[in-house]
Amino acid sequence: MTVEINETKTHQVEIVEREPVYRSFLTIERIRLRHSLFQGGLSPVITRELMERGQAVVVLLHDPQRDCVVLVEQFRIGALADEDGAWLLELVAGMIEEGESPHEVARRESREEAGREPHTLEYVGRYYPSPGGCSELIYLFYGEIDSRQLDETLAGATHEQEDIRVRVVPWPEVEQLLDSGRILNGSTLIGLQWLQLRKLRHEK
């Protein structure tokens, strides 16, 4: 058996065994590993399940002239049991396919889900939304866009069975959505709160 070792300057992970558990829309692996401890040395062998989700892009589309944010509304299986329903307001988002750069995906997904590309695109940062059990890494972008005639239009990639309604939301209403807890998607919360802080800095 070959032990896979991942090292940084301060930490080490020894992967003893990888076992595929499930492969379909999502992939799940069972991994046996040891990792370095803060007190020194290595942990005993532990077992963890890891959902392999790949990398994704999220795009915060903002119209600075009208001070509106372009959101998309769609069905989400993860919110199936939510008391307010399974249709969530979100930022434009999509998976990075092999050979694509995050910037390319940001523009493609804006076309597919919002019906229009941003005329500027700024990289904000990257994050793991659920690192306790999922490998997904998300790249967040801010894009300035002309939002005229986008509100209530329908969009989405047919081959991906997407059924999307575009919502152009004035900034005061966005803040109401944030304050009332009606934004339930984590990436959307991160993006909108980032823009909120940016606007506050510019006001000073």
The structure tokens 């829309």 sit at 25
What are the tokens at 44?
């005993």
What are the tokens at 199?
């606007």
Alpha helices, H only, the chain: 102-109, 171-179, 186-203
What are the tokens at 8?
């940084």
Any idea which residues carry the catalytic annotation? 160
CA nearest 93: which of 84, 102, 80?
102
